[in-house]
Each structure stands twice: as structure tokens, then as C-alpha cells.
Amino acid sequence: MSATTAESPVPAVEAVRPARAAGDDTARARLGRATQHGGWFVAPFLVLFTLFVLLPVVRGLVLSFTDANISGVGARFVGLDNYREAFGDPLVWQSLGHSAYFTLLVVPCIVVLAFLMAMLAHHIERAKWLWRLCFFAPFLLPSAVVGNLWQWLFNPGTGMVNHVLGIGTPWLTQKSTAMIAVVIATLWWTVGFSFLLYLAALQSIPRHLYEAAELDGANAWHRMARITLPMLRNITGLVITLQVLASLQVFDQVVVMYDFGPGPEESTRTFVQYTLEEGFTSYRVGYASAISIIFFVIIAVVALGRMWLLRKREEGVR
């Protein structure tokens, strides 16, 4: 009796193994089919992402622990020395402050202007295509064209800005107005993208919501406050996030408008510009890599913070 009881589980285990094997084969087959159908579509992106994003980031991280120069020869491992120097470098904090100041000026203005432009283009009856084209067209221009264009417009002697306003402000050579000039040029150049996002969101709001509110006696301001703005909450969050990330990385229009210089009294030197100066002017590639890694962490924290706030808000709504 005891011998039979001791031997009885063995056949049961042996019987389960083929079932498990069959289940594993089925799972592998499903995974293989999914990879077969979708993997080839993702493969080009993964290859490009690995070559031009992942590998450069890893390479930069490795270089940040060395004293590598522009030639790449004779680099020595220095540990955290570059990071210690970066955190104690006043120019790092100064350039980061300039980037943050630019972001604080640009982002609220873009959100408001893009929303107002989208409302105008959405409700206007005649020549809608022309308004949309005029609002979005500057976004298609290259950064070099934008920088040179506004460098000429802000010229104190021959520029159109001073001529139209009837003033003689030295926009590009005065510390108090240097960053303001960059902000104005950036608003004109980039607001079209956010305008397009707002316009698409406005067109997706159901019309019957406005009709029902109008029947209930709600005026235009009430409809905007109770319907339009709440329905645009998600797109506003997206616009703010994209603009914050883009503004912190400002570089192109600044260096073009100021002929690759730091501006009057170094008032327009941004974080990205200082990184390139250290890497390609001072030839300190290791130190520049450490600065770029620090900036990468800052950008990642901002993006992850936005995702965390969005998730918390969604959980609160539920």
C-alpha cells in the first residue's frame, strides 16, 4: 500500500510535462507570429535609434569619466572629477539659468498665443485655409533662416522693428533686451506647431455640447470656461510639456542671431551652447560629455515629472 502510494505521483508528473510543453510551444508560436508580423515594421526605427541615440548616449557617458580631448587620443580615466568640476562651475549654472529664463518666458506665451490663434482660425468663416497657412508657415522655415531674418529685423539702424515702433532700441547689443529678442523670434517661429495641435483639438469637441449649453442660456464666456477649456486640458498639458523640453534645449536661433557668440555680457549663452563651447572650442570633450549627461538627467526628470503628474491626475479623475 505504501509502495503504491509513493510511486503514484510519478505518472501524474510525467503526464503534466507534455501539457506544459505543448503550452510553451503555443506561447512561442504566438510570440513568433507577433514578431513576424510586427517586428519588421519596428526594426528600422530600432536600428536608427540604436545608432544615433542609444550608442551616442552610452559613448558620451563613457567619455564623461575621462579627460578626453577633441582628438580622442590619450584619454585617461578621471572618475567623477568632471562632474565635480561641473557642479562647481559658475558658467554651468549661469547658462542653465539662461535656458530656464528663456523657458519661463516662452512657454506661457506660446500656450496663450497658440490657443487664441486656434480659436480665431476655428471660428472664422472666410479664407480659413489662408489663416491656417499664415499661422503655420513660419514653423517650416529652417532655424538659420529664422535667425538671420530676425537679426536683420532687430538691427537698430535698418531693422523694421524699430522703424515700425518708432524707437531706437539696440535689441541685440543690450543685455536687458537680448533674450527678449530671442523670445520674440522663437514665438514667431514655433507657435505654429502648438497652434496646429490646439486647432485639431478644437475640431474634435462635439458640437452638441455647445448647442446644449446655448439652449440652457450659457453665453460665449460660459461656454469657453465650462466646455472649451476643460476639453482642451490634455492638449494643453501636451503643449506645455513639449515646449518646456524644446525650450530648455534652445540653441539654433540664439547662436545664429548672435553670430555664434554668447550675446552682450554673456546674457544669451544657453546650456547647450556652453556644452558645445567646451567640447569644440576648448576641446574638452570629457568635460563637455559630463555637462551633457547632467543636462540629459535634467530633461529626463522634467519629462518623468510630467508623466507622474498626468498619471496622478488620471487616478484622481477615476
One-letter-per-residue 3-state SS of the chain: CHHHHHHCHHHHHHHHHHHHHHHHHHHHHHHHHHHHHHHHHHHHHHHHHHHHHHHHHHHHHHHCCECCECCCCCCCECCCHHHHHHHHCHHHHHHHHHHHHHHHHHHHHHHHHHHHHHHHHHHCCCCHHHHHHHHHHHHHCCHHHHHHHHHHHCCCCCCHHHHHHCCCCCCCCCHHHHHHHHHHHHHHHHHHHHHHHHHHHHHCCCHHHHHHHHHCCCCHHHHHHHHHHHHCHHHHHHHHHHHHHHHHCCCHHHHHHCCCCCCHHHCCCCHHHHHHHHHHCCCEHHHHHHHHHHHHHHHHHHHHHHHHHHHHHHHHHC
Whether the per-residue pLDDT at 1 is higher than 50: the answer is no
More confident residue, 35 or 137: 137
pLDDT grade for 3, boundaries at 50, 70 and 90: very low
Indicate which CATH number applies to the domain containing 287. Answer: 1.10.3720.10
Check residue 6 and give its pLDDT. 46
pLDDT grade for 42, boundaries at 50, 70 and 90: confident
pLDDT grade for 127, boundaries at 50, 70 and 90: confident
Residue 146 and residue 16 in one domain:
no
- Which of 28, 63, 98 marks a domain boundary? 63
pLDDT grade for 149, boundaries at 50, 70 and 90: very high
Residue 108 and residue 168 in one domain:
yes
Residue 102 and residue 58 in one domain:
no
Residue 129 and residue 256 in one domain:
yes
Confirm whether 155 is domain-assigned: yes
Q: Tens digits of per-residue pLDDT, 234-276? A: 899 999 999 999 999 999 999 999 998 999 999 999 999 999 9
- Which of 63, 78, 106 marks a domain boundary? 63
Residue 179 and residue 229 in one domain:
yes
Residue 129 and residue 21 in one domain:
no
Q: What is the mean pLDDT of residues 119-138?
A: 90
Euclidean distance between the first and the last CA atom of the chain, given in angstroms as a whole number: 60
Which candidate, 61, 70, 66, places its Cα nearest to that of 278? 70
Confirm whether 78 is domain-assigned: no
Confirm whether 131 is domain-assigned: yes
- Which of 63, 82, 107 marks a domain boundary? 63
Confirm whether 277 is domain-assigned: yes
Residue 114 and residue 205 in one domain:
yes
Confirm whether 192 is domain-assigned: yes
Which burial class, exposed, middle or buried, applies to 201 when counting CB atoms under 10 A from its CB (0-12, 13-18, 19+)? Answer: buried
| Rounded CA separation 244/259 (Å) | 25
| Rounded CA separation 275/60 (Å) | 12
Overall pTM > 0.85: no
Whether the per-residue pLDDT at 4 is higher than 80: the answer is no
Check residue 308 and give its pLDDT. 87
Percent of the chain with pLDDT over 90: 66
Whether the per-residue pLDDT at 48 is higher than 60: the answer is yes
Confirm whether 285 is domain-assigned: yes
Whether the per-residue pLDDT at 195 is higher than 80: the answer is yes
Whether the per-residue pLDDT at 295 is higher than 60: the answer is yes
What domain range includes position 221?
Answer: 90-317
More confident residue, 179 or 74: 179
Confirm whether 212 is domain-assigned: yes
Residue 94 and residue 232 in one domain:
yes
Q: Tens digits of per-residue pLDDT, 7-18? A: 444 455 454 455
Residue 59 and residue 94 in one domain:
no
pLDDT grade for 41, boundaries at 50, 70 and 90: confident
Whether the per-residue pLDDT at 5 is higher than 70: the answer is no
Q: How many domains does one find in the chain?
A: 2
Residue 149 and residue 9 in one domain:
no
Q: Tens digits of per-residue pLDDT, 62-109? A: 999 999 998 878 889 999 999 999 999 999 999 999 999 999 999 999
Confirm whether 77 is domain-assigned: no
CB 295 within 8 Å of CB 271: yes
Residue 42 and residue 158 in one domain:
no
Q: What is the mean pLDDT of residues 188-201?
A: 96
Check residue 140 and give its pLDDT. 94
Residue 15 and residue 132 in one domain:
no
Which candidate, 66, 61, 62, 84, places its Cα nearest to that of 76? 66
Tell me the average pLDDT of the chain. 87
More confident residue, 299 or 22: 299
Write the single-letter amino acid at 161.
V
pLDDT grade for 312, boundaries at 50, 70 and 90: confident
Which range has highest mean pLDDT (26-40, 119-133, 140-154)?
Answer: 140-154
